[in-house]
Structure 1
């Protein structure tokens, strides 16, 4: 029995608008699986002018994903989404109605479920409105650990623990190249024409324009995290160091620049914002580094397990951990970061990704150890939907025009997109 929700195996390998005044006829037939549904999941009372229940839609928020700044009062809105245990409770079914279990039907996966729409399990890989599955990319033999989509490119890059990177054509969805790396891919990012890949003891760098290739040595053990700031490349490594290289334009090479010490165990997540570098580690801490002096300014110790992912959004820092929490941090007048809100999940959290939906509203994607990805409105944390997978998702990447990618433990890469909301209220 996986008593810790999968945390051990991961650790080892590392307020709203009223609903439309109409009863959902799918709900009446006992088969509505939209989450949330824009129509009523209860019979319309006589002389009723307002529907019960709150929509997960929120007013447009103009803030974007950027570095933390000082926050005077905005933190007061965190978690105000009719939440349940820290998460948003989606549209429910009326009393006495049998709803589908949030589990994908194994027979449907195999293509031979005889129950059809009467099946009590889901015949879909997602629950929720506003986004849909476009296609699946199959080819990796083991877990997808990293995804990169270079800006302006028509190629998608994926890395896996099968020791390969694959290149996919975005028009055809076909794999057009396989690169054997000789080591498990721990991370992958793109910056300008460059694609960087972290493997044990090395960072591989490819220039997609002139097809040059570089191999940066220095890391000890697996490279778990990479981030670029201006002309500096930072790598979080298994021995707890953060190595930095500076790009030399004259030689077209990356030259060793610094080694940031402080973490006692592997650095598994890096992000840059507001002239700060934030590092999440297997030692359960987050360190805040000054990008000019490369000195540690603060160590955040509120997590009780591995800090798997850190993300900057507006003036906030978000972090997730195998301790089953997402923490939201903001800077006090002294400049130090403090927790302003804690969101709780039922399982360990593997990675975070932020993007905007088709209406420009900020969304947090939160991959958990129970083979799900939760989609939340920010800052309310009202749940917008859920993605279900065969195995846990370890990599999420944003693409252009509302597209995003998820890579799971089976080696599958799925392509999703946000779709424009319907302008009519009829079904």
Structure 2
């Protein structure tokens, strides 16, 4: 078909604030005065952004408020592991390792005797090829040639000859063939998530509405019809995933996931098992994976004849969960990449959820991208640049 509890300042930098009350470690922090006025342009800001700014304030600030990353395109395709009779009960978890914070700063005196990792990655089956650090600010998005992706910081989607960019109160459309541009001025507040599906452009906005424009990706003139509005979320829509059966899944700051029919533009089901912001959605075969600031990844599968989804597994973590991406390793095994709120990306085998490894960074990771199918490449972006990694092939067994 088809983040973050814990008193960590990064919580407030991504969405403009969590949807729940601050925890003990954040009670003594001050709320940003400029954020209250809808004018904070610090990124990251050292003060609290304890809830999303009012859309009118954000509009008055011309989009200068805190930015947010979200997900709309899984990047997950190709063959999947075969399922046995107990498939839906095989999800498990594994314990973590931590990288030495002193080693990160070049100050660890323990050397090989240190009980923490002195490495930017741990695990087997992949290699860290390079760390590119030419950027002056956070890397919030990575785009590979030939792939439709959303670039973080602003929401951007490529479809045919069109490039769509979501900014406060507007979606800009550029045609790369004619160099013409158009403005779709229908969203209210910041556009946090975008996706395309067949002949539809979809945008999730700060007021909780999803707008759907019909267009033809092969026609170069301004052929966008007046948008239809998909209403139901009570707070900002921050993640979208279009999948099979012409359905759309949307995740929101209101803690819910909604499943929509793109044929009728009606809501088919509301999923309410998360207890905080639904940051990212990923479609895989008959499953929907969702991650949330409630520190869980939930696996949903089609459990009813009418296509209704139910939770079949919940994977918990001690940190908030921000981004989901899927790919296959060099042996065509499905792997889940998950950015967490402790400056790391976890790599999990699917469907077992056994941990393959971790990638670390000095600052929080705000972008993940997978390379072209079959390349084995994947990338992570953080405050110091971005890392290039690659899955390695299993060593051939020597024969006499």
Instruction: Tell me the TM-score range normalised by the shorter chain.
Output: 0.7 to 0.9
If the length of structure 2 is used for normalisation, what is the TM-score? 0.73
Task: Verify the 8 A CA contact 1:375 1:386 in the aligned structure 2.
Answer: yes
1:217-237 Cα deviation digits (max 9, x unpaired): 221211111111012110111
Q: Are positions 1:12 and 2:16 aligned together?
A: yes
Q: Which residue of 2 aligns with 1:80?
A: 90
**Taking structure 1 as reference, are residues 317 and 102 closer, same or farther at Cα in structure 2, changes over 3 Å only?**
same
1:4-60 CA-to-partner distances (Å, cap 9, x unmatched) read 35545544358xxxxxxxxxxxxxxxxxxxxxxxxxxxxxxxxxxxxxxxxxxxxxx
Is 1:414 aligned to 2:390, yes or no? no
2:353 counterpart of 1:381: yes
Partner of 1:342: 314
Supply the distance in 1 between the matched residues of 2:315 and 2:294 (Cα, whole angstroms): 11
CA RMSD of aligned residues (A): 3.0
Q: Which residue of 2 aligns with 1:146?
A: 141
Larger radius of gyration, structure 1 or 2? 1
Alignment of 1:102 with 2:98, yes or no, is: yes
Q: Contact 2:242–2:248 (CA<8 Å) still a contact in 1? A: yes
The equivalent of 2:297 in structure 1 is 326
The answer as to 2:275 corresponding to 1:300 is no
The corresponding residue for 1:200 is 168
2:256 matched residue in structure 1: 285
Residue by residue over 1:174-222, the C-alpha shift from the partner in whole angstroms, topping out at 9 and shown as x without a partner, is: xxxxxxxxxxx2x233333433332222223344455444433221211
Partners of 1:75 and 1:106 lie apart in 2 by 47
Range moving further from structure 2, 261-270 or 392-401: 392-401
Residue 377 to residue 300, structure 1, CA distance change in 2 (3 Å): same
1:263 corresponds to which of 233, 237, 240 = 233
Alignment equivalent of 1:136, drawn from 131, 137, 140: 131
Distance 1:421 1:211, change over 3 A: farther
Alignment equivalent of 2:189, drawn from 221, 237, 259: 221
Match of 1:182 in 2: none
Structure (1 or 2) with the greater strand fraction: 1
CA distance in 2, matches of 1:296, 1:8: 30
TM-superposed CA distance for 1:424, in Å, is 4.8
Displacement of 1:340 in angstroms is: 1.0
Cα gap change, 1:312 to 1:106, in 2 (>3 Å):
same
| Aligned residues of 2:247 and 2:262 also touching (Cα < 8 A) | yes
Residue 366 of structure 1 deviates from its aligned partner by 1.1
Task: Report the more deviating stretch, 390-399 or 196-205.
Answer: 196-205
Distance 2:162 2:17 in 1: 27
Q: Which shows bigger deviation, 394-403 or 302-311?
A: 394-403
Segment drifting more, 385-394 vs 142-151:
142-151
TM-score of the superposed pair, with normalisation by structure 1: 0.68
Distance 1:397 1:152, change over 3 A: closer
Give the 3 Å change call, closer, same or farther, for CA 372–75 of structure 1 in structure 2: farther
State whether residues 315 and 330 of structure 1, in contact with CA within 8 Å, keep that contact through their aligned partners in structure 2. Answer: yes
Displacement of 1:313: 0.3
Q: Secondary structure at the match of 2:140?
A: strand
* Shift in Å, 1:145: 3.0
Unaligned runs of 5+ in 1: 15-63, 68-72, 91-100, 161-184
Equivalent pairs, count = 327
Deviation at 1:113, TM superposition (A): 6.2
Q: Deviations over 1:124-162 (max 9, x none)?
A: 211111122222333444333333324179xx99544xx
Contact in 2 for aligned 1:372/1:388 (Cα 8 Å):
yes
Q: CA deviation at 1:118?
A: 5.0
Partner of 2:327: 355
- Taking the aligned partners of 2:183 and 2:128, their CA distance within structure 1 comes to 36
| Residues 285-316 of structure 1, C-alpha deviations (whole Å, 9 max, x = no match) | 00110011111111111111111111100110
